[in-house]
């Protein structure tokens, strides 16, 4: 049984100590901001200014590519031509609400609470719509992941046009930025967590601490959270900053704040914390076995391997970070976390920590 209060006390003490180390705080905050904010901006700003604004970038359509059937046959062409009854100027950039549309071409529109039947939709945003026998061509926004589509008939088809170069590059870059926000929380703990036990041992504060009635589990939990909290704090800070700045840069091109989308939010809520925890645990584990801070940090560096593997998979195109994939990986990391915690607790040995110096 862990008395959470004791873990909480240990964490608060560690954080109080941490607060005094201005340089460590500085590097912990600076690293994610540099990697997750400054670097992406340096990549995006030239692109935004150089690429001509011929049409809105199709970022989400491609980001959500995993949800689109590859089958892109063209029976729609005839239908559209035959039944097109709306003037494109009327349906362009129009917001249609609570309407029933039949045999329409809908281009660059926002449709809310709308039933769409036997129609073609281009570059539009769908909200709470019912789609029956509809073909969707390069529709944009939050609609295509199915969140806001209330019902879809079996004949629904998604068609994508051939993506431009920028459309191909952007998702890659987005994935890379997202991976930075997962790698960073897995790296930061190697700075803090390795210090948490080895540091106490070296300044001899461990002995009186171990003499208190706190249990191994409580001590470990406190130590884990005192590394986890600042790591995630710095990550979320950089993430918020990054998302806001990227949106500011991209809005002129995309037309609406594209970030954070579902994938990004899920990654931050599930993947980043589990990856961070994995790293914290491994560092705590290592530092309770090693008596030198530097050795602990280096060994701790190995533990971000599962995260690095994910990144390589993503960058090489083997893994596409869809919400489902995020759940899978977060589950995997979570399971590893539980295993690591139990292992750390099992091998946490007060005597060895206190008396082994080699």
Task: Give 49 or 358: the residue with its C-beta nearer to other proteins.
Answer: 358
Closest distance of CB 206 from other proteins, Å:
7
Considering only 203, 317, 318, 346, the residue that binds other proteins (CB under 8 A) is 203
- SS3 of residue 303 by DSSP: coil
Which residues from 321-350 bind other proteins, rule CB under 8 A? 350
- Contact region with other proteins (CB under 8 A), list: 10-18, 118-126, 180-188, 282-290: 10-18
Query: Under 8 Å CB-to-CB from 19, ≥6 apart: which residues?
Result: 25
Q: What is the rounded distance in angstroms from the CA atom of residue 257 to the CA atom of residue 170? A: 15
Closest distance of CB 204 from other proteins, Å:
4
Considering only 98, 102, 161, 205, the residue that binds other proteins (CB under 8 A) is 205
Strands (E), the chain: 95-97, 100-102, 105-107, 110-112, 115-117, 120-122, 125-127, 129-132, 135-137, 149-152, 157-159
**What is the distance in angstroms between the CA of the first residue and the CA of the last residue of the chain?**
32
Considering only 67, 113, 215, 291, the residue that binds other proteins (CB under 8 A) is 215
Which residues from 16-35 bind other proteins, rule CB under 8 A? 16-17, 20-21
214 lies in the binding site for other proteins (CB under 8 A)? yes
Closest distance of CB 350 from other proteins, Å:
6
204 lies in the binding site for other proteins (CB under 8 A)? yes
Peptide bond before residue 227 is cis, with ω within 30 degrees of 0: no
Instruction: Report the relative pairing of strands 135-137 and 120-122 from DSSP bridges.
Output: parallel
- SS3 of residue 83 by DSSP: helix
- SS3 of residue 2 by DSSP: coil
103 lies in the binding site for other proteins (CB under 8 A)? no
Write out the residues near other proteins by the rule CB under 8 A.
6, 9-10, 13, 16-17, 20-21, 203-215, 350-351, 354-355
């Amino acid at each position: 049984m862990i008395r959470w209060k004791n873990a909480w006390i240990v964490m608060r003490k560690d954080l109080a100590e941490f607060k005094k180390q201005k340089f460590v705080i500085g590097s912990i905050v600076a690293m994610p901001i540099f990697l997750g904010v400054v670097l992406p901006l340096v990549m995006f700003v030239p692109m935004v200014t150089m690429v001509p604004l011929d049409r809105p970038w199709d970022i989400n359509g491609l980001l959500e590519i995993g949800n689109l059937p590859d089958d892109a046959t063209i029976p729609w062409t005839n239908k559209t031509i035959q039944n097109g009854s709306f003037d494109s100027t009327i349906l362009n950039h129009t917001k249609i609400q609570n309407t029933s549309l039949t045999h329409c071409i809908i281009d660059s529109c926002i449709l809310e609470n709308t039933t769409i039947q036997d129609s073609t939709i281009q570059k539009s945003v769908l909200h709470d719509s019912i789609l029956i026998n509809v073909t969707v061509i390069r529709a944009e926004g939050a609609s295509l992941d199915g969140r806001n589509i209330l019902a879809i008939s079996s004949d629904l088809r998604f068609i994508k046009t051939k993506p431009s170069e920028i459309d191909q590059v952007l998702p890659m870059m987005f994935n890379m930025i997202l991976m930075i926000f997962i790698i960073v929380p897995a790296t930061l703990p190697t700075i803090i967590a390795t210090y948490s036990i080895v540091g106490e041992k070296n300044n001899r504060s461990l002995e009186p601490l171990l003499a208190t009635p706190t249990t191994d589990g409580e001590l470990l939990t406190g130590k884990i959270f005192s590394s986890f909290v600042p790591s995630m704090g710095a990550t979320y800070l950089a993430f918020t900053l990054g998302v806001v700045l990227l949106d500011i840069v991209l809005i002129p091109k995309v037309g609406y704040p594209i970030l954070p989308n579902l994938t990004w939010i899920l990654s931050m809520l599930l993947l980043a914390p589990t990856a961070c925890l994995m790293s914290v645990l491994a560092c705590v584990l290592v530092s309770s076995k090693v008596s030198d801070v530097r050795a602990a940090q280096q060994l701790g560096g190995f533990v971000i391997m599962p995260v690095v593997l994910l990144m390589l998979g993503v960058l090489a195109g083997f893994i596409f970070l869809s919400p489902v994939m995020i759940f899978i990986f977060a589950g995997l990391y979570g399971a590893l976390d539980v295993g690591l915690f139990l292992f750390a607790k099992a091998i946490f040995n007060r005597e060895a920590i206190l008396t082994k110096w080699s």
